[in-house]
Amino acid sequence: MRRVGKWFFAALGSLAVLLAIGITLTIGWSPFLGPKARALTNRTFERTQQRLERGRYIVTGLSGCVYCHSPHDWTAPGTPIMAGKEASGEVLPYAGLPGRIVAPNLTPDQETGAGSWTDDQLARAIREGVGHNGRALFPIMPYQHYRNMSDEDLASVVVYLRSLPAVHNQLPATEIIFPVRYLIRSAPEPIAAPVADVASLDRFKYGTYLVEQAGCIDCHTAQVRGQNVSGMDFAGGFPFTGPWGTVASANITPDPSGISYYDEALFLNVMRTGLVTGRKLSPIMPVMVYKNLTDDDLKAIFAFLRTTKPVKHRVDNSEAPTECKLCKQKHGSGSEN
Ligand code: HEC
Ligand code: HEC
């Protein structure tokens, strides 16, 4: 009996060791222990006019923070943000999310907003994906792109958020389904080194930076279980369903089935008006955000898009949605691919 007991515990012991190694090498311990987070500091970002303006440009234009973090009238034409409620948060309206995902109130309201969060709590959430209360954020909040946000841009964003009028808007909490709630905990990574500005003279690097901060790839790439379908970067087909109906993102690679026929002038016009030579785009393409970008930045974005790999992939929202074997979604003209 005793011997068996000993063997049993030895076996159990090695099983535990194997499991521990297995977890360390695969998903890591974060799903059980919580996200990797650095300690908060008491830094504050100096409020300057230059930062205020740069921050407004990023928050309302380039990165569309206000677009996600504000209540919209999703059934009205153009899905406008509700007046006077800018940046006060919303329950995301997209169908198919793993639970109720709430973009919080970022205005300095003490009770329902970011009034009591420190500058560094905001900074850590934006670039490192750990919320003010230490929770791993659901990565539809594009913190993985914002990792590369320069220190100065980050300071500008925080300075601008602090200048917003406080808006009282009580929202429910985010509730993510099992097991996604645990799996997302291994994504956050602390940032230890300084992140420098990207000079606009290096056009390719600058365009890459803008496209990353603007999040074009997130909407314009098909995903299966939160992962981009490989080989389909910027090739569209990802369907967005909500109160506005269903609309799939466009192929914006330089393939003939994408936007090879665009020139710079047409691109600027599309990004400013939401009209493609008379065809009106769905407001789910957030032109209300990007129309605030400077000509120079839009040109750098267009130049970057021209360097993406052309992908042959038809997406046509005027056709009924059908299965697409290339991007593994259902979208207009899907069966023709
Ligand atoms: C695609 C939509 C989207 C965009 C764009 C977006 N966010 Fe978020 N953000 C979210 C969602 C959703 C959450 C909450 C995630 C959760 O609850 O797990 C969030 C969380 C946050 C938090 C964490 C709050 C806390 O609990 O501590 C901050 C701060 C924040 N966002 C700021 C920003 C800023 C600044 C930008 C622009 C640079 C931005 N967000 C862009 C959707 C977005
Ligand atoms: C929130 C999701 C979302 C984001 C973010 C987004 N798009 Fe779109 N975009 C769409 C959808 C959906 C369509 C299709 C609209 C339609 O067909 O009515 C679209 C259409 C377009 C078109 C029109 C293509 C055509 O001629 O049919 C262009 C160009 C475009 N997007 C470029 C961009 C660029 C560049 C960025 C980043 C700066 C971007 N988009 C970010 C969702 C998005």
Segment 97-131, tens digit of pLDDT: 999 999 999 999 999 999 999 999 999 999 999 99
Q: Which two tokens stand for residue 297?
A: 């930045």
Q: Are 200 and 210 in contact, with CB atoms under 8 Å apart? A: no
Q: How many whole angstroms separate alpha carbon 98 and alpha carbon 101?
A: 8
The pLDDT tens digits of the residues spanning 158-197 come to 999 999 999 999 999 999 999 999 999 999 999 999 999 9
Q: Which two tokens stand for residue 48?
A: 């300057």
Q: Give the number of whichever ligand sits closest to the CA of residue 276.
A: 2
Determine which residue's CA is closest to atom 6 belonging to ligand 1.
65
Determine which residue's CA is closest to atom 39 belonging to ligand 1.
65
Residue 155's identity, in one-letter code, is A
List pocket residues of ligand 2, CB cut-off 6 Å. 214-216, 219-220, 240, 247, 249-250, 252, 259, 270, 276, 281-282, 284-286, 290, 301, 317
Sign, CA torsion 221/227/232/237: negative
Q: How many whole angstroms separate alpha carbon 114 and alpha carbon 158?
A: 11
Task: Among 200-204, 246-250, 324-328, name the one with the lowest average pLDDT.
Answer: 200-204
Q: Give mean pLDDT, residues 27-56.
A: 92
Q: Are 238 and 219 in contact, with CB atoms under 8 Å apart? A: yes
Which residues have CB under 8 Å from 3's CB, separation 6+?
A: none
Quick count: other Cβ atoms within 10 Å of Cβ 113? Answer: 24
Give me the pLDDT at residue 238, please: 97
Q: How many whole angstroms separate alpha carbon 171 and alpha carbon 151?
A: 30
